Structure 1
Amino acid sequence: MHIERLDKASLRGRGRLTLLMGCTALVALQPLAAVSQDGQAAEETTVLERITVEGAGGADDDARSIVATTSTGASKIPTALLDTPASVSVITAREMQERNVSTVEEALRYTAGVSTDFYGSDDRYDYFKIRGFDAYVYRDGLMIGDPFGGIREEAYAYERVEVLKGASSTTFGVSDPGGSVNFVTKTPKSERFGEAYISGGSYSRAEMGFDFGDNLTEDDTLSYRLTGKVRKADAEYDYSRDDEKFFMGGLTWRPSDVTTLSIVYDHLNKDGVPGSGGHPLGTDFDRSRFFGEPDYNYRGTNRNSVSVMLDHDFGSGLTLGANARYSRTDSDFGYAYISSTPTNGSTTASRAFFGNDQSVDDVVLDTHLQYDTSFDGIDSRSLVGVTYQRTSTDNKNYWGAAPGIDWLNPVYTGRPASVPIYQSLKTDQDTKALYVQQNLTFADRLTVSMGLRNDWLDTDQTDRLTGVRTKGDVSELTSRFGLSYRWTEELATYASYSESAVPSSLTVEPERGKQYEVGVKYQPLEFPALFSAAVYDLTKSNITRTDPVTNLQSAIGEVRVRGLDLEAKAEISDRWSLTAAYSYLSSEIVENGADGNEGNELAFVPHHIASLWATYKLPGDGRRGDMSFSLGGRYSSSYYFDDANTVSTDGHVVFDAAATYKLAENTAVEFNVANLFDEKHVDYGGFGANFYNPGRSFSLTLRQTW
């Protein structure tokens, strides 16, 4: 990654100098005189010398700090968060370790505008929404897809998680208007480092992991990194398991000061279960009670990926960046769930079997050229790029009635001989995209950011049950425009407009989104921190709904969300650090076809979301080692389970806690508790069964670093 900034103002004060050098990615650059054919052009144009910094976060140290200052989440041009005309939150590796994050949902729990866990003990996918909408996920700027229907990502593979709020199709491509999540892969460093840990905890959990690397050559031209974890565990309900094997290995080659090539291979294998199957309506059983079918209860994942990342500096402000990834994923699940609870006094609930088999081959690559220059007091950063993705998916779904179960005297009936298949689709999709981005900074204060992108999606789908073949092609142009103004070195305000597009089916127009946003950001120079506030108005239109006139699927739906996001990440002193967030959301179904839901609120969108995680560090005094204590709280107001607004959950608060004790300089014991007071509420329900939120869990970890 390359970060640059033209330094024209001197810094005053020790605090400012320390923060600038140690915590920000705005590296001071010395201008070089541009080579020109005439002297006048040489005086008017300055080409910025580029400094190459390793690590996805630039000068950010994601392994040691919860505060990030740069990101590529809002555009493919690395930009200081203070100068980015959008709301971007970054969860660093340090924050994930501090909170003992093991899933994407856990990583996002303390982020403004993000709601998680709204499907309770349904453990098939990563469930989260940003500003009221499902969010697409990306890895190193390359599409992964919609988490609903995908696999649960391994958070330990990533150096950071970047959350962009609002429409973002001009940056990454297909996405919903609420936002996007970009995972940044751990890659080798040009230094020796490492950690290893062993952990145990609730639900018979036993886990070990490692993440280390070093140089293979004395001149730092070749480095490696190995990351992995193995877990043997159960879930919180009977007849469950939560086993995992993960390994990732990477090599980075630096043949010169201007070229970096990284190759990363990772393998993810999970052997778990899809969920508890739900609890009958009107009951209050312990979370451990299981009303599914033990012999038909599986969730498997096997994925192998190879990623290639290339950066090259041609000099004179011109650089090349290219990322590519191939992945093969095989996944399946099968389970029995409660489909309805009787209302006639019977204690026998109806059940159904549901299963899925899926295989996905995916090739995706992105290449872009960036040119940076300066003229007449204007810093210019221009980028043009192309993206290509080829995805081949084989998906089969099975469903059928299952024997009922008496919840007062459950008797399991065993694995079914077969479950009827109701859908079998073979889908091939080619995606091509061309995009341009332009940042102009005037007098080191006003930054104008613009972007255009056109995506072409060609889809060929075959229904293997009927033999029917359907083709579709989509061409979507999206744009983004933003202004950011630095009032001081610490304070900036911004305004932006952005668009999104996502196909809904082969025969209906794509769903489109647009967002207007204004905000303010404050980054004090005296200590590492970033405070932000934003208000927004976003609309998603062309939503596929049943047309009341033709009774056919048509792009006639429209929904709207308006809101406020407040967020703070700060290392206030050597002892205190905190992450705080609050969001207000007001959602409305503007048009919804013939179902009569106009004027209602969107399902799973609470009016209020708030969270606070605070850490206090107590230095050792010689007789004992360093200690730290953390306490967190997460609040969500009530939300509806359906767009008809007939059933809802209650508001709730969940507390988390953590403590660390250093046994030696590089050895520590960590204790984490999620849902400290075992708060119990219904995350999802009202339709045959209820699904509770995750219960209390704990872990004790011994970690060695070097």
Structure 2
Amino acid sequence: MQFNLSFLAFSVLAIMATASHAQSESDLEQPSGNQLPTITTQAETDEKPYVAKTASAVLRSDAALFETAQSISVITNQQIEQKQAKTVAEALDGVAGVTSGQYGRRGWDDFIIRGQISSSQTYIDGLRVQASDNVLRAEDISGLESIEVVKGPTSVGFGLALPGGLVNLTTKRPQAETSYKGALSYGSYGLKEATFDMNYAPNESAKGAFRVVGRVSDQDDPTDYVYFKNQYIAPSYNFDLGDKDDLSVIASYQHRKYIRQQGIPYSKGDYKNYSSSLFFGEPDYGYDVDVYRIGANYAHYFDNDWTFKQNLAVTKTDTKGNAILASGTNILPTIKRAINNQDKQDINYTLDNHLQRNFDFGKLNYDVMVGVDMMRERSDYYRRTDTINDFNANDPSYGNVSIKKIGAPSQEITYSQYAGLYLRNTIKIDDHWIIGLSGRHDWTQVEIDNVLKNTATKNSDNAFTGSASVMYGMNDMFAPYISYSTSFMPVTDAGENGTLLNPEEGKQAEVGIKLQAFEQRLQGYVAYYDLTRKNVTESDASGNFSIQTGEQVTQGFEAEMAAALTEQWNVAATYSYIPTAKITESVTASEMGKRSNHIPKNASSLSTQYYFSPDQFGWNIGAGIRYQGSRTAQRNTDFVYLPSYALFDVNAGYEAKTWGAGLSIKNLFDKEYLVGTTPNAQLVNWGDPMMVRFNVKFKY
């Protein structure tokens, strides 16, 4: 399969021509009530909803979550603010079925969904951000309106994907009301942050409106010499093309400079004898990351009730780093070290086009969507690992780096591309039965060029994935369902003979019930799932090539609820029980039956926020608890036991019409705990100690 940027250019030109033609037809009718609204025409109010009723970006429609036979969690902007989350990983903490930040504060968004590592499955406004395995990304949270977490296989809607699920970040876009907002934050470990959000709507309409969001932050880490600096800006504009067309464009730039926190060697439990603030790297040996993104959303409403939508984005990421890491197995107090020199240059093009229409036949309602999407990514990755002098944990010393051995460099350029054709059918019968039938066929190609060895490896595949579901709406409060879905994921790993391995495959059966109450201000679900991932790739013991170890199985229960019980009282609760998360087939006999890394059997969270006034002005208070059951992490002979922990959070604030102030304390009792390990299970990572954050905000 071959395609290139000429298709993107042609599509954009065609859409602009259509838009220009539609603008001249000012006497056309308004879109039908059955048409799907675009994100550019949503009005903003000062009272942002605490509970989401839809997940329009990942569903590509305004279908209600209550009528969707799939487990989807939506973290609204109000919930993000209540959590005082500064990263996507923090915002995901406590979501049912999700483990976040399992590799510590290394400066990347790490998360596991339903027992499967899903960090590379981040989407922005419904488009994949990156396909390569070495993600090295952390999206800025200040530019987000909400976070949508889809659990289970998603290939039928998004093509190549691992079966655990995905995280979609919806960005802030121009709104119909002019407003100017800003906030200043100060907190533990030198946190200093300023954000602004300016929306200008000259006609008191979202059409023709302009918005710009920005953030500057600087924070040290509880680990000595570790810091995170971030700058972000995102302007967006809605064109006024008349009643039949919507066009929104958004651009963003993010710069990050940081030193990763990477814990301390487990060393048969000897880590307990050392401070959690111990840093075995070197000051100023870290990462510089620049991310440039531009995207556009277009919609055209035809007279015959069809809707055409196009969504495209181009993302360029430049990453340079020379982090100092632990090398091999270490017995404290001696830590062997190496400099991991990295230069990663990525550019990603994504495009989605689809047509949708709703047919109302009285007792039968039929919604159909047909679309084609595609992606092309070029990833140029240079690496060289140099061995340096050891570190003595009993006598820390910095600034005396000496190279013992210069490593052999490697540089690979990976081209990943796919095109997919999908069809989605939703049939609603007699306002009770909802039947979903979806199918998709993908054509993929992966090419890896070894620059230094002057070799190339290429592999082309195609795959069909599908999903089927049946839901019964018992009443306005309960809707049980059953679903089955499949997935596939091409790999960039080469086997012993140098050829690329087969794609991974996945499948999931799920049965559950959707819940809603209090005039839809309560949304939730309870579900049981049985998920299987096949053709899983791992490095061979020699480290020279990859192998496909076979099969992993995850089975579990989830329960989740978010509710605005009254105008003054919000509550959210989640519970996950994963009794089975293990390797069921492997070429390595010792791997059989092992539990997947970092997956607790039990995890739960409960949070609440109370406003002393029905209009939510004046004082408010909140509290929460997050529980994580015990976990294990292992690789080869390395085994780490991670004890369970419970963390308490509290917050209080005051809201006036033009200003507000808030104070939050995370990990109120300053509990010391292990959040996870490094991927090789040789280092343990301490979780966040008590964090105090104070903020003031202004709004006009």
Contact 1:237-1:276 at 8 Å conserved across structures: no
Contact 1:49-1:316 at 8 Å conserved across structures: no
| Separation of aligned partners in 2, 1:72 and 1:65 | 15
SS of alignment partner, residue 220 of structure 2: coil
- Correspondence list, 1:73-112, <5 A: 75-112=59-96
Q: Structure 1 residue aligned with 2:337, among 347, 351, 368?
A: 351
Shift in CA distance, 132/276, structure 1 to aligned 2, threshold 3 Å: closer
* Structure 2 counterpart of 1:438: 425
Shift of 1:387: 0.9
Code of the aligned partner of 1:129: I
Structure 1 residue 629 and structure 2 residue 621: aligned? Answer: yes
Contact 2:154-2:166 at 8 Å conserved across structures: yes
Code of the aligned partner of 1:638: S
Q: Structure 2 residue aligned with 1:560, among 550, 553, 560?
A: 553
Aligned length: 652
Structure 1 residue 678 and structure 2 residue 670: aligned? Answer: yes
SS of alignment partner, residue 465 of structure 1: coil
Shift in CA distance, 249/421, structure 1 to aligned 2, threshold 3 Å: farther
| Separation of aligned partners in 2, 1:60 and 1:171 | 28
Q: TM-score, normalised by structure 2?
A: 0.88
Shift of 1:337: 2.7
Code of the aligned partner of 2:419: K
SS of alignment partner, residue 389 of structure 1: strand
Structure 1 residue 272 and structure 2 residue 264: aligned? Answer: no
CA deviation string 1:192-246 (max 9, x = no partner): 2342111111111211111121213467641101100111222222222211110
SS of alignment partner, residue 291 of structure 1: coil
Q: Structure 2 residue aligned with 1:183, among 169, 173, 186?
A: 169
SS of alignment partner, residue 155 of structure 1: coil
Shift in CA distance, 575/62, structure 1 to aligned 2, threshold 3 Å: closer
**Mean Cα deviation higher: 379-388 or 413-422:** 413-422
Shift of 1:279: 5.2
Shift in CA distance, 513/360, structure 1 to aligned 2, threshold 3 Å: same
| Separation of aligned partners in 2, 1:208 and 1:627 | 23
| Separation of aligned partners in 2, 1:450 and 1:101 | 37
Q: Structure 2 residue aligned with 1:536, among 524, 529, 533?
A: 529
| Structure 1 unpaired stretches of 5+ | 1-46
Shift of 1:570: 0.5
Code of the aligned partner of 1:593: V
Shift of 1:82: 0.5
* Structure 1 counterpart of 2:127: 142
* Structure 2 counterpart of 1:509: 502
* Structure 1 counterpart of 2:351: 365
Structure 1 residue 301 and structure 2 residue 289: aligned? Answer: yes
**Mean Cα deviation higher: 139-148 or 539-548:** 539-548
**Mean Cα deviation higher: 475-484 or 678-687:** 678-687
* Structure 1 counterpart of 2:182: 196
SS of alignment partner, residue 472 of structure 2: strand
**Mean Cα deviation higher: 598-607 or 259-268:** 598-607
| Separation of aligned partners in 2, 1:263 and 1:330 | 22
Shift of 1:61: 6.9
SS of alignment partner, residue 292 of structure 1: coil
Contact 1:126-1:148 at 8 Å conserved across structures: no
Shift of 1:189: 1.1
Q: CA RMSD in A?
A: 2.7
Shift of 1:307: 0.6
SS of alignment partner, residue 479 of structure 2: strand
Percent identity between the two aligned chains:
26
Structure 1 residue 579 and structure 2 residue 579: aligned? Answer: no
- Correspondence list, 1:431-470, <5 A: 431-470=418-457
| Separation of aligned partners in 2, 1:243 and 1:444 | 52
- Correspondence list, 1:114-129, <5 A: 114-121=98-105, 123-129=106-112
Shift of 1:59: 8.1
* Structure 2 counterpart of 1:692: 686
**Mean Cα deviation higher: 304-313 or 272-281:** 272-281
CA deviation string 1:94-127 (max 9, x = no partner): 1111111111111111211101121124x13211
Shift of 1:579: 1.1
SS of alignment partner, residue 129 of structure 2: strand
* Structure 2 counterpart of 1:23: none
Code of the aligned partner of 2:233: F
CA deviation string 1:490-546 (max 9, x = no partner): 221111101111112362111111000011111114461112100010101122368
Code of the aligned partner of 2:122: V
Contact 2:515-2:523 at 8 Å conserved across structures: yes
Contact 2:245-2:298 at 8 Å conserved across structures: yes
Structure 1 residue 329 and structure 2 residue 317: aligned? Answer: yes
Shift of 1:175: 1.2
SS of alignment partner, residue 81 of structure 2: helix
| Structure 2 unpaired stretches of 5+ | 1-30, 494-499
Structure 1 residue 292 and structure 2 residue 281: aligned? Answer: yes
Code of the aligned partner of 2:323: Y
* Structure 2 counterpart of 1:247: 233
SS of alignment partner, residue 283 of structure 1: helix
SS of alignment partner, residue 372 of structure 1: strand
Contact 1:124-1:274 at 8 Å conserved across structures: yes
Shift in CA distance, 210/416, structure 1 to aligned 2, threshold 3 Å: farther
Q: TM-score, normalised by structure 1?
A: 0.87
Shift of 1:398: 1.9
